[in-house]
């Protein structure tokens, strides 16, 4: 039977226990603690306690009344109910139309949470990836956290905030109730001992407890308060742990189910490592025994003792020490690699800067470009400096330009020689290389011809 809220039958015994315990705490305070308190303390304490009780009841009601079902499953059930209401018989219509729509990622404004999905084999449709099927409620719960037996409902995305507030308000209720009872009980017994030993008169709380509703049963009233103080202490410790646990879950952004799965994986991994360590220990003990290393054998055996050895002898365990060293070496190597890579990068950058500066220094300069000293401090080409030394100024630039032949520049120091420009020099170098290659190939052909001729002569 699929449950839609926490008020549906069958009721859980723990749920019924909460329905009984909350009113009992309120009435106990109202009849056994508030009457024996001073009026200045009784009124605010009673108001604070009943405010916490009202918040607890309200948030618990909202949590139980909110259905945390997966939105895709909700739409699927609504369509099924609509088909049945229209007189449909069938599962065929549902399977072809509804299931086809439920498998589509986009929605048509129906409020379905888009995102990763998975298939639930129990419900028979695709649901959200974080949804889980609850066997108690027989439905997939959106962002499933856990099934609360105290509220007899599942806790999921829709009602998790109500559940968290319920736990917080219940903790506040128990703390206020227990704190007031602790003050009442301590004061009562202090005044009771003073009156009993005659060291001083009793007090107002002792007198009001003895005159409780005119019954003169102060010790009975104190005994009831002591009993509920113990109940408050137990409840506060349990609920406090639960509240702190969910604060941690909210901080990490995970659910109770995810935490349980992660904790189980960690335990399995720790157990696997422990078993592997024990197998290594057995082999190491046998090796130390065969090699005559008595001290190492004792250290291995002491560290392998259950419980005591794992805690006391763990720092001197040879296997654990070896594992630490093996883990530290890759970290040191990684650090050295990073340091070396940084140094190589710096060296490469400095080399590139030097090469670029050298290239800038070797840029070919035409006549007239260096008529004034270079602002960057570059050295002038030889032909420019010789031009200045020979007394050639800027006015003779045209004459020198007229003496050029093609891409060649006439040397002002000697008109019979020319200085090739950078492109002409490259072309000349390429032409010389082609000539040398052709000469080499010609010589190779000549050598092969002579060799073949000699071979024929020898054969003759």
pLDDT band at 401 (very low <50, low <70, confident <90, very high): very low
Beta-sheet pairing, 146-148 with 408-410: unpaired
Question: Rounded to whole angstroms, how far apart are CA atoms 34 and 83?
Answer: 59
pTM exceeds 0.75 for this model: no
pLDDT band at 457 (very low <50, low <70, confident <90, very high): low
pLDDT digits (tens, 9 = 90+) for 270-311: 899 889 888 888 888 888 888 888 888 888 888 878 777 777
> What percent of the chain stands above pLDDT 70?
63
Q: Give the DSSP H/E element, type plus range, for residue 343.
A: helix 318-361
User: Which range (28-42, 99-113, 198-212, 288-302) has the least confidence?
Assistant: 99-113
- Say what angle helices 218-252 and 160-197 make with each other, to 10 degrees: 150
User: Which range (96-110, 163-177, 273-287) has the least confidence?
Assistant: 96-110
pLDDT score for 322: 81
Question: Rounded to whole angstroms, how far apart are CA atoms 445 and 426?
Answer: 29
pLDDT at 133 over 80: yes
Question: Rounded to whole angstroms, how far apart are CA atoms 365 and 374?
Answer: 11
Q: C-alpha distances in angstroms, 205 versus 47, 132, 191?
A: 20, 55, 8
Q: Mean of the per-residue pLDDT values for the chain?
A: 75
Question: Rounded to whole angstroms, how far apart are CA atoms 282 and 98?
Answer: 61
Question: Rounded to whole angstroms, how far apart are CA atoms 41 and 33?
Answer: 11
């Amino acid at each position: 039977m699929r449950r839609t809220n926490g008020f549906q039958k069958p009721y859980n015994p723990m749920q019924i226990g909460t329905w009984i315990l909350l009113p009992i705490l309120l009435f106990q305070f109202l009849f056994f603690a508030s009457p024996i308190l001073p009026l200045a303390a009784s009124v605010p304490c009673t108001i604070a306690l009943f405010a916490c009780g009202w918040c607890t009841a309200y948030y618990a009601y909202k949590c139980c009344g909110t259905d945390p079902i997966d939105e895709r499953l909700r739409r699927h059930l609504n369509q099924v109910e609509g088909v049945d209401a229209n007189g449909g018989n069938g599962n065929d219509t549902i399977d072809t139309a509804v299931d086809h729509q439920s498998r589509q990622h986009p929605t048509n404004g129906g409020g379905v949470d888009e995102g990763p999905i998975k298939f639930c084999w129990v419900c028979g449709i695709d649901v959200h990836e974080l949804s889980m099927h609850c066997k108690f409620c027989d439905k997939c719960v959106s962002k499933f956290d856990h099934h609360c037996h105290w509220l007899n409902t599942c806790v999921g995305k829709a009602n998790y905030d109500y559940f968290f507030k319920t736990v917080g308000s219940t903790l506040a209720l128990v703390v206020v109730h227990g704190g007031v009872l602790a003050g009442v009980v301590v004061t009562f017994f202090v005044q009771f001992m003073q009156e009993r030993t005659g060291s001083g008169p009793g007090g107002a709380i002792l007198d009001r407890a003895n005159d409780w509703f005119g019954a003169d049963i102060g010790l009975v009233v104190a005994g009831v308060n002591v009993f509920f103080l113990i109940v408050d202490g137990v409840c506060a410790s349990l609920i406090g742990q639960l509240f702190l646990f969910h604060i941690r879950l909210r901080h990490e952004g995970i659910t109770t189910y995810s935490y349980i799965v992660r904790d189980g994986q960690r335990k399995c991994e720790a157990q696997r490592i422990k078993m592997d360590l024990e197998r290594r220990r057995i082999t190491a003990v046998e090796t130390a025994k065969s090699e005559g290393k008595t001290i190492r054998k004792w250290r291995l055996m002491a560290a392998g003792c259950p419980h005591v050895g794992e805690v006391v002898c763990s720092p001197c365990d040879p296997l654990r020490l070896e594992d630490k060293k093996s883990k530290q070496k890759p970290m040191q190597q990684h650090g050295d690699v990073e340091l070396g890579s940084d140094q190589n990068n710096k060296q490469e950058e400095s080399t590139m800067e030097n090469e670029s500066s050298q290239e800038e220094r070797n840029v070919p300069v035409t006549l007239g470009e260096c008529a004034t000293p270079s602002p960057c401090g570059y050295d002038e080409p030889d032909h420019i400096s010789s031009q200045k030394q020979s007394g050639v100024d800027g006015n003779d630039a045209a004459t020198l330009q007229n003496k050029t032949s093609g891409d060649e520049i006439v040397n002002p120091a000697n008109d019979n020689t020319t200085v090739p420009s950078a492109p002409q020099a490259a072309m000349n170098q390429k032409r010389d290389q082609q000539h040398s290659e052709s000469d080499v190939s010609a010589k190779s052909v000549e050598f092969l011809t002579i060799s073949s001729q000699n071979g024929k002569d020898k054969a003759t």
